[in-house]
Chain A
Amino acid sequence: MNRTSRVASRWSDLRRSAFVAAVALTVMVLSMPANAAPAKRGTAYRVGKLVTMDGTDRVINNAVVLVEGSKIEGVGSRQELEVPAGYRVVNAENLWLVPGLVDAHNHTAGSLMDLNDMVYLTNPGLRTLETIVPDNEIIKSARAGGVTPVLLIPGSGTNMSGFGTVAKTGGSTVADVVQRSPGSLKIAQAGNPEWYWFGVGRSYMNYNTRQTLDKAKAYHEGWNAFEQGKTKDKPLYDPVFDGFRGLFRGEFPASVHTQIYQVVMTTVDMLSKKFGIRTVLDHSTFDGFKTAPLVVEQDMYTMNGPRQYWFDFSQRKMHGNAARWWQGGVKKLGINTDAPVVPQKELSYQAAMACWYGWLPYPALRGVTKMPAEALLIDDHVGSIEVGKDADFGLWTGDPIDPRSSCEMTVVRGKVVYDAKVKRRF
């Protein structure tokens, strides 16, 4: 008997005993009386303050949030909501319960080596799904900042760098963390892709993006016509453009790397007005806020960041980007980190800085919870604390925007994924 076969035989022995154990366990479980385990075993979080971010912007003091499985089962004040028997109670009377923060612009899917696959100037078929490392160090630290879902998108090295993925920060396999793929289409306007090669400028980049989208739209319309029975010619399947069909159906948005007045204007005009794509303005920094009237007209979402101010040399003024967008009437406004540019765990601090430069705390908190969730079309299950939504939240020592407050516990889908008492990370 050589060494390999000995190992193999041991392995088969092991498997056999495992099988025996499994059978024994099944028999035990089946023979247990049905009434021994309670019907439901949830968790009740008793907190000092609950910021719901729901439709009526309720803030409840001395609140209870009931969690059953991965969902929120009940929300209310301690007087009106009774904790069912058998529920585990988490006493956090001096903490705030805040919806899990959402970041609509994040690059920490996996190793930062495959952030930008710059094969062509547009790479429409790629997706970040294949690069995700669910438990990487940056994601771990994101939990410490109370961040629960993020949109993992490719970099802005090319005009079109692929499809992003909406993922949770809690979970250890790709299947665990992925919420939606494609999460968005990443398009990058000026301010990075021009470094692709000599001669690439704004005219060419716009043409390049436009013609790719034209092709994708034609593909989508061809299939639409076939599916609706308008034509009997079945179009050829094209893996490059098939992913775009969801985009044109409005199932997911385009996340657009866009900044500077002229560039943001082109983005609004080309993507939202001409193509009718649901477009989220990421970055939207420098003097991009000057396009506010256009953005209001198109009813678009703006996810501002990572830059929080723009210094106008000609006027010697510091403009808070978020404050200026807000002032321009853009209320569908959120904040991002562009992690790892700003560490993911500092998403709430980005909101703090938006406030220092003139924005307001409550809209800023909404800008890191409900607004990005709405922008990404995931607000049906995250972004606020409401019955039926995912149990994604953080327990904070106070106003989550204040850098003096810390996130003591983060819960994703009802599971505690970060506990400062076990190991404090931020």
Chain B
Amino acid sequence: MSSLTEQASKHPRLHQLPQTHQLKALMTIIRDAETKRGDFVFYSDRVIRLLVEEGLNYLPVVDKEVTTPMGVPFQGVAFEGRICGVSIMRAGESMEQGLRDVCTSVRIGKVLIQRDERTAQPKLYYSKLPRDISDRWVLLLDPMLATGGSAMKCIEVLLEAGVREDRILFINLICSPEGALTMLEKFSKMQIVTAEIDEGIDARKFILPGLGDFGDRYFGTED
């Protein structure tokens, strides 16, 4: 483990899924260059479900007393706070169904951010967000956090729309330590939920060892 990876894994606002054998097995399948698309989609969806469940755990709950079928009072908790999803197009859309599976009829906004070839900076091309997003918790969806350029641009868009930064949870499958640390430093209240923290990024901004281009492999648009 590189020192940067270790540093990232200890960051209090970067939450990794429990590193079980089972998760390793799922990640092995989706990282394997030989994996067929059907398996890639199936096992990615499984990891996404785990990530969404984990992400929701950082939402608040309030105490609630209920009565059990045996007529006994039970001191429990209830969900508190409304949520929405925001996916960064195109790859982030692959995570929407995982969110819908656990939060039926959840509102989902979309943002298209691409690299401006003249400035080499990420540029916002399109955004459509729920009107009352400023009252909501936001699960930001993008499967790969490499440099963090698009995601940081997206967070700026969310903040401009009135979202509280401490209510932003960025959910991804794999992140690079430098991307995650840069992002957490720039935004001091948001949180990241990820399955694994990798070694770094290459010159083409791909995460290493990573899994290649997630959107192409998920949507079947490889060359």
Partners in one complex: no
